[in-house]
Each structure stands twice: as C-alpha cells, then as structure tokens.
Amino acid sequence: MIKHVVFMEFKPGVSVEQIEDLQNRLRSLPGIIPEIQEYGFGRDVLRSERSMDFALVSAFTDLEALRHYSEHPDHQSVLSLVRILSAKTLTVDFVF
C-alpha cells in the first residue's frame, strides 16, 4: 500500500467559505475515483509554529493507483483550487 500525505499552508485572506468549498470537493473524490482506498482530511487543531493549516491523508494499493488518482480530471480540478488557495504545499508518498 502507498500512503499519500499532503500538507497545505493557506495564503493570507483565504476565507472559511473557500476552505469549505475545498473540503466539499475533496469529499466527493472517493466516490468518483475508485483507486482511493482510504481518504481523510481536515484543518489543524493545535496551531503551533510548526503547524500547517490543512492535511490530507489517503491510501492506494500501489503506485499505479496513485498515478491514476493524480492524473484523474476531477483530482486535477481540486488540485487547481489547492494551488489557488495555498502559499505552500508539502507532499510525501511512502509504502506502508
């Protein structure tokens, strides 16, 4: 299995409504992209100097499934929104 982890730091001025729109779009992906085995995301609750604003954790059977997810048009649409809202993103993919 491959774990895909994404951290986001939002740009100043990103609204609660924009974050809710992002969450709604993310929430729809598991019903559209069958390769997604696990999917969870949310805003940071502790807010320390080391924190990012938002995280997504997902799982895929193998790298090919992760590639399909990454290239899927619905994921690409959400990724475009992430790029608009985020000042910084970090991604890690690892075998577990």
Report the C-alpha gap between 47 and 26 in whole angstroms.
Answer: 22
Residues 3-49 have pLDDT tens digits of 999 999 999 999 999 999 999 999 999 999 999 999 999 999 998 98
53 touches 8 (CB < 8 A): yes
pTM (predicted TM-score): 0.94
37 touches 21 (CB < 8 A): no
Residues 56-82 have pLDDT tens digits of 999 999 999 999 999 999 999 999 999
Q: Does domain 2-95 have CATH number 3.30.70.100?
A: yes
